[in-house]
Amino acid sequence: MLRIEGLHTHYGPSHILQGVDLAVPRGRICAVLGRNGVGKTTTVRSIMGLVPPTSGRVLLDGQDIAGWAPHLVARAGVAYVPEGRLIFPDLSVLENIRVGERRPAKVWTVERLLELFPSLRERSGNRGWQLSGGEQQMLAIARALVSDPRVVLLDEPSQGLAPLVVRELAAVIKRLCAEGVTILLIEQNMKLAEAVADELHIMVKGRIVYVASPEVFRAEEEEIRGRYLTV
Ligand SMILES: Nc1ncnc2c1ncn2[C@@H]1O[C@H](COP(=O)(O)OP(=O)(O)O)[C@@H](O)[C@H]1O
Ligand SMILES: [Mg+2]
């Protein structure tokens, strides 16, 4: 479904992504873990065309979309939930969702999204700034879904959320997967990644250095954590 091959990305003279290889099969959840600054956000920004990769391929169902403009990547079926959510504070919940709408949704209609996120329904008239962190995260996901994407890129959705809300988030991510959405999940929260992902990837200095199922990862966790994840 989504396959990244030998992706290199620079910010000016800084060589950030140094040959990222990553495959997310259709209907699966793949998580990318890694310390701060290793290039996780740059990876999703490169996929979206927000920073054009220098070389390598981004294959969406076999079509190379590397370097496409962000609106074309979105039209091809990739939705992006950015780090920090980036909700519009002065727009209402419904207006924030509609920002993501390119044409009337067929799969993820606003009605269905409000069913999926009952707390957003209760707050549909509220402004973005009035929402809790968890509600803002759900809103950012709803705004991505309303474009009826094939693939959703989630950049650190658990950031700043209380454990109970993270559990809710895990349930939402699993539900999306069950509904056929393919998910690339960037996380620092290993518990969340382990709970939802079919496959875990670890990034170090702009490369994927480790891939395993959550079961295998758990068996090797202490060593892997020390080697690649703890500061
Ligand atoms: N817009 C930018 N311009 C220059 N350097 C950047 C920019 N964004 C990120 N970087 C650098 O790229 C590296 C990877 O950043 P990022 O992809 O955000 O890491 P992560 O998401 O894994 O924490 C870091 O060293 C960061 O300082
Ligand atoms: Mg990041």
Task: Write the pLDDT tens digit of every residue in 46-102.
Answer: 999 999 999 999 999 999 999 999 999 999 999 999 999 999 999 999 999 999 988
Is any atom of ligand 1 closer than 6 Å to the C-beta of 11? Answer: yes
Helix (H, G, I), strand (E, B), or coil: what is residue 69? coil
Q: For position 38, what pLDDT does the model report?
A: 97
Domain co-membership, 167 together with 70: yes
- Helix (H) or strand (E) run with residue 153 in it: strand 151-155
Nearest CA to ligand 1 atom 11: 37
Domain co-membership, 170 together with 231: yes
Taking the centre of ligand 2 as the mean of its atom positions, its distance from the CA of residue 197, in whole angstroms, is 18
Average pLDDT over residues 187-205: 96
Boundary of a domain, candidates 130, 148, 166: 148
Boundary of a domain, candidates 148, 163, 191: 148
Domain co-membership, 139 together with 158: no
Domain co-membership, 71 together with 94: no
Domain co-membership, 159 together with 142: no
Q: For position 96, what pLDDT does the model report?
A: 96
Q: Does residue 120 surpass a pLDDT of 80?
A: yes
Domain-embedded: residue 9: no
Q: At what angle do helices 163-178 and 133-145 cross, to 10 degrees?
A: 10
Q: Which atom of ligand 1 is nearest the CA belonging to 156?
A: 21
Domain co-membership, 230 together with 155: yes
And the tokens for 70?
Answer: 């962000």
Domain-embedded: residue 15: no
Work out the percent of the chain whose per-residue pLDDT is above 90. Answer: 97
Domain co-membership, 175 together with 162: yes
Taking the centre of ligand 2 as the mean of its atom positions, its distance from the CA of residue 40, in whole angstroms, is 5
Average pLDDT over residues 30-37: 96
- Helix (H) or strand (E) run with residue 217 in it: helix 214-224
Is any atom of ligand 1 closer than 6 Å to the C-beta of 9? Answer: no
Q: Does residue 11 surpass a pLDDT of 90?
A: yes
Q: Does residue 230 surpass a pLDDT of 90?
A: no
Domain-embedded: residue 6: no
Domain-embedded: residue 10: no
Domain co-membership, 142 together with 159: no
Boundary of a domain, candidates 131, 148, 165: 148
Q: Which atom of ligand 1 is nearest the CA belonging to 186?
A: 21
Domain co-membership, 214 together with 167: yes
Domain-embedded: residue 71: yes
pLDDT in tens, 130-139: 999 999 999 9
- Which CATH number fits the domain that encloses residue 163? 3.40.50.300
pLDDT in tens, 144-195: 999 999 999 999 999 999 999 999 999 999 999 999 999 999 999 999 999 9
Question: How much is the mean pLDDT over the chain?
Answer: 96
Backbone angles phi, psi at 146, to 5 degrees: -65, -10
Domain co-membership, 131 together with 164: no
And the tokens for 119?
Answer: 């707390």
Domain-embedded: residue 34: yes
The answer to whether residues 22 and 201 touch, using CB atoms and an 8 Å cutoff, is yes
Domain co-membership, 138 together with 170: no
Q: For position 64, what pLDDT does the model report?
A: 98
And the tokens for 6?
Answer: 């030998």
Domain co-membership, 96 together with 208: no
Q: For position 219, what pLDDT does the model report?
A: 93
Domain-embedded: residue 113: yes
- Number of independent structural domains in the chain: 2
Taking the centre of ligand 2 as the mean of its atom positions, its distance from the CA of residue 83, in whole angstroms, is 6
Q: Which domain holds residue 107?
A: 87-148
Q: Which atom of ligand 1 is nearest the CA belonging to 35?
A: 22
State in Å, rounded, how far the first CA of the chain is from the last one: 33
